[in-house]
Amino acid sequence: AAADHSPAVIIGTGYGAAVTALRLGAAGVPTVMLEMGKLWNDPAEDGTTFSDMLSPDRRSTWFKDRTEAPLASFLWLDVANHDIDPYAGVLDRVSFGDMSVYVGRGVGGGSLVNGAMAVIPKRSYFEEILPRVDADEMYGQYFPLANSMLGTNHVDPEWFETSRAYRFARVSRKAAHRAGFRTTFVPSVYDFDYMRREEAELVPRSALASEVVYGNNHGKRSLDKSYLAAAVGTGNVTIRTLSEVRDITRQQDGTYVLEVRRIDELGNVLGVHQMSAKHLFLGAGSLGSTELLVRARDTGKLPELGEAVGRGWGTNGNVMLGRANHAWDPVGPLESGMPALGIDAWDRPDPVFAEIAPVPAGLETWASLYLAITRNPERGTFRYDPGADRAVLQWDVDQGQPSIDAAKRVFDRINSVEGTSYRYDLFGDTRAFETRFTYHPLGGLVLGEATDLYGRVAGYDNLYVTDGSLIPGSTGVNPFVTITALAERNIARILAEDVRRT
Ligand code: FDA
């Protein structure tokens, strides 16, 4: 074995990884987590840890020389993006031709950059996508456990009605209701009490200072403050940052050997070393975990991996769109970075769950923005590109069309009742619907296909998948609660059956 050995190694520090670390640590298993991004705990001179959203600096973005914000333009002006120095920043946009995937980089993964919406899927839909997972157990035990561990909380409906920061959501709600659609409050892991105090100017602003996709300086219960803090608190879990796993091989005796590349925050390679593990858990996210196994299979390092590895990837049906508001319906210059309301049209023949999203631009935008989650049956496949030594996603732009069609039926009706139109100036050209990026990459190592029903990789003992790559391309709502709850369920079984206490 390599000199550097740990009984358990977890790759990544996102939701699946964090759950797994806490449960291994609490069971007394010495565990090392390897995270390619940095730990976000060292404030700059001005006291901020994360970059400002409106004038982003290098902390915003993972090694690019220009930011790549989701809303490319406003009135076709490229106002959103700024030149920056390459750095181990917190938000990455990974491009595969027709599809770009946003992911978080750093200790906490996506929890550092996401909108904090903590939504449990409709039970009937969950039973449809993962029919062989016991739904009674998930809804009775693991979803509630996930929410309590994540620190999910609810907006006070009375405050919501009066908050200036949610005027944008009330304007969108009025239009949805007039067209006959239902809206629902969305639970969050952003602390709504903190937000109230932000509005009252009692504490430094974060959600109310437009912060979200480049990290929140305050208020958000990201994983580093919940699961990962608890995991490290067991005394059995250590996190190594700026450490990217490049390769996985397996020795004759079954030990896994990882090639780990260490960098500094500027991207200089400090060295490549080997580390070994008895139990190896993949928590590098849908893109990261899938790439590692596609590479291992196709380079012959883990030759027993099957055809299911790399398949069943989807965007959770993501489609973004904006509507133009009437002049008499201003939303005001202050929009909370954290959504709190969604349009629930999931009961339709072509279901839509649309988050009413902020445009936290700090000025009146006359726009209502939505991130709609639809039931898009299209799936992509990852293939290994030996020249680039990278897994490449095969996804065609037309595969976004079912998402557009479903969203269009809902929002055409809203526009027709309101006498409003779409915004054509938000996505860099004149399209009204953006399906060329996703915030919700899911699948690639689907539960029950690339793995057994608990995430054990088919063909290999002591190799597990814990993250969003287990979910078959769609979960019908924002996915992190599903990922967390499924990871809780899986690690409970694996601890009981596979991992001997030390
Ligand atoms: P996740 O992607 O969180 O973590 C993977 C980690 O592994 C990362 O830290 C990465 O750096 C690391 N890694 C990858 N490859 C590696 C390697 N080879 N070696 C070492 N480390 C490696 N969801 C939701 O439910 N509600 C919401 O409001 C939102 N909003 C939202 C906004 C934005 C802007 C984004 C980008 C995403 C969201 N999401 C969301 C999605 C949510 O954040 C996402 O589904 C989860 O973070 C996925 O969790 P995972 O555990 O799968 O991996």
The model's pLDDT over 293-348, given as tens digits with 9 standing for 90+, comes to 999 999 999 999 999 999 999 999 999 999 999 999 999 999 999 999 999 999 99
How confident is the model at residue 1, as a pLDDT? 46
CB of 444 closer than 8 Å to CB of 465: no
How confident is the model at residue 502, as a pLDDT? 46
CB of 400 closer than 8 Å to CB of 381: no
Residue 54: what are its φ and ψ, rounded to 5°? -85, -30
Active-site residue, selected from the candidate residues 35, 68, 291, 440:
440
Indicate the SS3 state at residue 257: strand
CA 358 to chain centre: 17
Taking CA atoms only, the protein residue closest to ligand 1 atom 31 is 114
CB of 352 closer than 8 Å to CB of 320: no
Q: Angle, nearest 10°, between helix axes 480-497 and 15-26?
A: 30
Give ligand 1 pocket residues (Cβ under 6 A). 11-17, 34-37, 102-106, 109-110, 113-117, 213, 244-245, 283-286, 288, 292, 439-440, 467-468, 478-480, 483
| Ligand 1, atom nearest to 477 Cα | 25
- Give the CATH number for residue 183: 3.50.50.60
The answer to whether the pTM exceeds 0.95 is yes
| Ligand 1, atom nearest to 34 Cα | 20
Range of the domain at 159: 5-499
Low-confidence ranges of the chain (pLDDT < 50): 1, 502
User: What angle is formed at CA 173 by the lines to CA 116 and CA 128, rounded to 5 degrees?
Assistant: 60
| Domain total in the chain | 1
For residues 283-301, b (16+ Cβ closer than 10 Å) or e, as one string? bbbbbbbbbbbbbbbbeeb
| Ligand 1, atom nearest to 355 Cα | 28
How confident is the model at residue 70, as a pLDDT? 86
Q: Whose structure tokens read 């109230």?
A: 196
CB of 212 closer than 8 Å to CB of 113: yes
Indicate the SS3 state at residue 200: coil
How confident is the model at residue 362, as a pLDDT? 87
Q: Whose structure tokens read 């732009």?
A: 397
Q: Measured in angstroms, how far is the CA atom of residue 128 from the centroid of ligand 1? A: 24
Residue 96: what are its φ and ψ, rounded to 5°? -130, 70
* Measured distance CA(69)–CA(34) in Å, rounded: 27
Q: Exposed, middle or buried: residue 3 (CB in 10 Å: 0-12, 13-18, 19+)?
A: exposed
CB atoms within 10 A of CB 124: 11
CB of 117 closer than 8 Å to CB of 188: yes
Q: Measured in angstroms, how far is the CA atom of residue 224 from the centroid of ligand 1? A: 13
Active-site residue, selected from the candidate residues 211, 355, 418, 488:
355
Taking CA atoms only, the protein residue closest to ligand 1 atom 46 is 110
Q: Measured in angstroms, how far is the CA atom of residue 319 from the centroid of ligand 1? A: 18
* Measured distance CA(20)–CA(38) in Å, rounded: 20
Q: Measured in angstroms, how far is the CA atom of residue 252 from the centroid of ligand 1? A: 33
Indicate if ipTM > 0.90. Answer: yes
355 a catalytic residue: yes
Taking CA atoms only, the protein residue closest to ligand 1 atom 8 is 109
440 a catalytic residue: yes
* Measured distance CA(87)–CA(169) in Å, rounded: 35
CB of 148 closer than 8 Å to CB of 154: no
Q: Tell which phi-psi region holds residue 107, choosing left (phi > 0), alpha (psi between -120 and 50) or beta.
A: beta
Q: Measured in angstroms, how far is the CA atom of residue 57 from the centroid of ligand 1? A: 21
CB of 411 closer than 8 Å to CB of 75: no
| Ligand 1, atom nearest to 15 Cα | 51
* Measured distance CA(145)–CA(260) in Å, rounded: 33
How confident is the model at residue 2, as a pLDDT? 53
